[in-house]
Amino acid sequence: MKALVRSGPVQTVLALLLAGYLGVVLRTMRWRWVGRERAEAVWDKGGPVIVCFWHSRIALSPACWPLGRAQTPRALISLSSDGEFIARAVGFPAIRGSTRNPSKPGRAKGGAQALRAMLAWLQGDHGVAITPDGPRGPAEEMGAGPPRLAQLAKAPVLLVGLAARPCLRLGSWDRAMLPLPFSKGAIIWDGPLDADGEDQAVLGRRWSEQLVAATRAAEDALG
């Protein structure tokens, strides 16, 4: 049964069903925004932008990217079968790849190719969406990857806290959040942040704390 569920045709059908479900649910949700003017200033200015949110909030992420803006989004999504499923379900055009797992140095994950692809896309004044704790965690911990990308691309970074209530919490490593129809949602923006000239590891820890704070603030905004 597990092999059947993970087969290509079944995964395609399930991804289409989830995409349809999310399309309906996100339109029926009642949204609360905090700090939206921060994001609007970035969108209005134009140019490249990097948007970060936690892996558990992927299902909510399309709501934080306004339609019709010049910064067309692409999302960094892993090369795994799970990544393929997410790419189809969420609907963002994908840049495939992820960071290397230090415990498995012999297993390439396309990180170098993905970095080059993201830089090329950002140089065209577009946007990249990243889950800094994906694809396998630890949950809600950011490394030096996003600061490195921001420095190389000279792009501002927006941190986005996302929450929904009521929602389902899945049994995945990140306890992924799946919103329900007509639920309440909250989006908290922090930034834009500038990575120029600072240590990437230090920035990763600082931004991780800020993104955790934005996510908890989104949850608190819903009561």
Choice between 112 and 8, residue whose per-residue pLDDT is larger: 112
Average pLDDT over residues 27-55: 93
Choice between 20 and 98, residue whose per-residue pLDDT is larger: 20
Phi, psi dihedrals of residue 138, rounded to the nearest 5°: -65, 150
- pLDDT tens, position by position, 127-150: 999 999 978 889 999 999 999 999
pTM of this structure: 0.87
Residue 83 has a pLDDT of: 66
- pLDDT tens, position by position, 158-186: 999 999 999 999 998 999 999 999 999 99
- Whether 70 shows a pLDDT value over 80: the answer reads no
Instruction: Give me the CATH topology for the region 2-221.
Output: Glycerol-3-phosphate (1)-acyltransferase (3.40.1130)
- What ranges do the domains of the chain cover? 2-221
Report DSSP letters for 150-207, one per residue.
Answer: HHHHT--EEEEEEEEEEEEE-SSTT--EEEEEEEEEEEEEEEEE--TTS-HHHHHHHH
Residue 201 has a pLDDT of: 93
- Kindly report the average pLDDT of the chain as a whole number: 86
- Whether 91 shows a pLDDT value over 90: the answer reads no
- Whether 106 shows a pLDDT value over 70: the answer reads no
